[in-house]
Structure 1
Amino acid sequence: MSAPAVPVVRICLADDHTLMRDGLKEMLHTAPGFTVVGEASTGTEAVALATGLRPDVVLLDVEMPGPGAAEVIRRITRAVPKTQVLVLTMHDDPDMVRELLETGAAGYLLKTVPREELIGAVRSAVRRDSDSVVLVVSRQTVEQLDRQRSRERAVQLTARELEVLRLVAEALSNAQVAERLFITEATVKRHLTNIYGKLDAVSRVDALRKAAAARLIDAGRDGGPWSRPGDPAGVR
């Protein structure tokens, strides 16, 4: 009786450097059960290829013409949910790692990764469960990601406090926040005082910066109060 056939992992390569794609293709073709079914040199091509070919994995560079990496990942995962996107880049940046994993990437690997680890990462991505990711970055990046997660766990704002903070990030005054949330201005001031205490902040700007660092709000949202002098709790 013959052994059952090993399923072939179908891969698309998305990188604007032809030599990089050629090297990856040659490397992957040496691994049993892998085949490269398409190549893209722009973000738009990557989305079109993934949508048309429905590969198991897309190996995606982050610096290509067209939509940014986050938007490419978003479009691919929306169009072909079963296709796993592995980011392969030179950028050892914890903020980028976090953003792209949260957008839907199945993994983030540096281009300095050894051949065996790349092949293992592709196999892991194909059989991964929804709660796991493949991560091959520097120790410093891992440590910074751990610090960010620790800060998030340490700061617990209520749903109402988050609503207030997000409106403050839109440069609304206390009176405008109160009107938007159908509460009194005194209640808004009380929420801000609680927010400042939990974040160990001394002003609106300080609170927004610390909330952004803890990933409670988007950094630099609308550009409003970020460049304005902070005012102490309870003031205007």
Structure 2
Amino acid sequence: MKIRLGIADAHPVIGKGIAAMLAPHPHIETVFSLTDWRDLGAELSRVPVDILLLDLHMPEQNVAGLCKMLRRDFPECRIVGMSASQEAVEVKQVMRAGAAGYLLKSMDEEGLLAALEAVFDGKQYIDAKVKAMLLEDLFQHKKRLRKKDVLTRRETEILELIAREFSSREIADKLFVSLRTVDTHRFNIIQKLQVKNAAGLIKEAYKRGLV
């Protein structure tokens, strides 16, 4: 077994640190380490890899869009996201976009090896701390769903469209209802979910698994 690894992280010290950590393990070869995600396409075309360790907070990076693009253009390359964050929304967004794993940057050598070997074998791997957080988020999500003020089918539909950045006018046209009806539903959704604005609605849509 030989795992060809690529690393893309905005901080050079992290890429070098990972490569040094893996150096004693001959079955893993670090074939490149980049600090700018915009160089990824050209580098992956030149030097194919089995796994790409991807910093999820590189400057000017759309995480979901980048993962989808890489999975489309380089289907043999499996992506493992790296982050200092344990935000459930980010984890779900990245995994839905096609990533095969999610690691915290506080990972140790044992965890990194386990992740790379599992992903290489076609499995998914999520850091144990992140798994625990996701289970807690799922528990809280189920508690929210048990509340009396759950959304109606129409409100859920409108929430999904808001999360997809449709304007109120576009939603009205798509659902064949009046603009006033959409605004009324939007107001009711905000009240039920106890959020303050569209950003809060979008975050709640991710929590509910609508997008």
TM-score, length basis structure 1: 0.66
- 1:71-114 CA distance string (max 9 Å, x none): 33222111111211111222232222122112111111111111
Alignment of 1:128-147 (within 5 A): 128-129=122-123, 132-138=124-130, 141-147=133-139
Residue of structure 2 in register with 1:71 after alignment? 65
Alignment of 1:48-197 (within 5 A): 48-129=42-123, 132-138=124-130, 141-147=133-139, 150=142, 158=153, 162-166=156-160, 170-172=167-169, 177=172, 180-182=174-176
Where structure 1 has 5 or more consecutive residues not aligned to the other structure, the ranges are 1-6, 220-236
Q: Distance between the aligned counterparts of 1:21 and 1:202, measured in 2?
A: 41
Residue 93 of structure 2 aligns to a residue whose secondary structure is helix
Distance 1:65 1:164 in 2: 31
Counterpart check, 1:38 vs 2:32: yes
The answer to whether structure 1 residue 23 and structure 2 residue 17 are counterparts is: yes
Separation in structure 2 between the aligned mates of residue 205 and residue 217 of structure 1, nearest angstrom:
20
Indicate if the aligned counterparts of 1:15 and 1:64 stay in contact, CA closer than 8 A. yes
For the pair shown, the structure with the greater C-alpha radius of gyration is 1
Distance (Å, rounded) in 2 between the aligned partners of 1:202 and 1:42:
38
Please tell me whether the aligned partners of residues 109 and 137 of structure 1 are also in contact (alpha carbons under 8 angstroms): no
Task: Tell me how far 1:38 sits from its aligned partner.
Answer: 1.2
Q: Is the 8 A contact 1:108 1:135 kept in 2?
A: yes
State the one-letter code of the partner of 1:171: S
Larger RCO, structure (CA 8 Å, separation 6 or more): 2
Which digits, 9 at most, give the CA deviation of each residue in 1:6-45, with x for residues without a partner? x210000111222222221121121241101111111112
Deviation for aligned residue 1:121: 0.3
**What is the TM-score normalised by the length of structure 2?**
0.72
Q: In the TM superposition, what is the alpha-carbon distance from 1:67 to its structure 2 partner?
A: 2.8
> Alignment identity in percent?
21
Counterpart amino acid of residue 102 in structure 2: Y
* C-alpha spacing 1:68/1:183, structure 2 compared with 1 (3 Å): closer
Helix, strand or coil at the partner of 1:105: coil
Q: What's the CA shift string for 1:102-160, capped at 9, x where partnerless?
A: 2111111111111011101001111124xx443343576334432465368766864x6
Task: Say which SS state the counterpart of residue 127 (structure 2) adopts.
Answer: strand
Question: Equivalents in 2 of 1:90, 1:61: separation in Å?
Answer: 9
Check whether the contact 1:152–1:214 (CA below 8 A) recurs between aligned residues: no
What's 1:14 paired with? 8
